[in-house]
Amino acid sequence: MKKEFTDAIFSKVTTDNMVKKGKVLKSGNFRIAGKAKIEVMEDSEDGVKIILNKDENDTIREIKFVCSCGQTKSLYLDYSDDK
């Protein structure tokens, strides 16, 4: 048994070419887009949750702010050097 806690790593799937017919999603409409770690922090005074979506190397890819009222805002980070 391991003596250390490890971060859970989740497979990210995408449905870029998904045909939206009915309520059944077929496995052929999905592809694995990578792996992700999810970290959740909560501000007890303002009722805002901050969700950090990281890749396998702990690089933050998305910062999502979730208000207790139900509204969400996301900030996507792109580290590519395309100019």
* Global confidence as pTM: 0.60
Categorize the per-residue pLDDT at 18 as very low, low, confident or very high, splitting at 50, 70 and 90.
low
Per-residue model confidence as pLDDT tens digits over 19-60 = 566 677 677 777 777 788 888 888 767 788 888 888 878 888
Q: Domains in the chain: how many in total?
A: 1
Give residue 56's region: left, alpha or beta (phi > 0; psi -120 to 50).
alpha
1, part of any domain: no
Q: Which amino acid is at 19?
A: V
3, part of any domain: no
31, part of any domain: yes
2, part of any domain: no
Q: State the residue range of the domain holding 48.
A: 10-76
Q: Work out the number of other CB atoms within 10 angstroms of the CB of residue 20.
A: 8
5, part of any domain: no
83, part of any domain: no
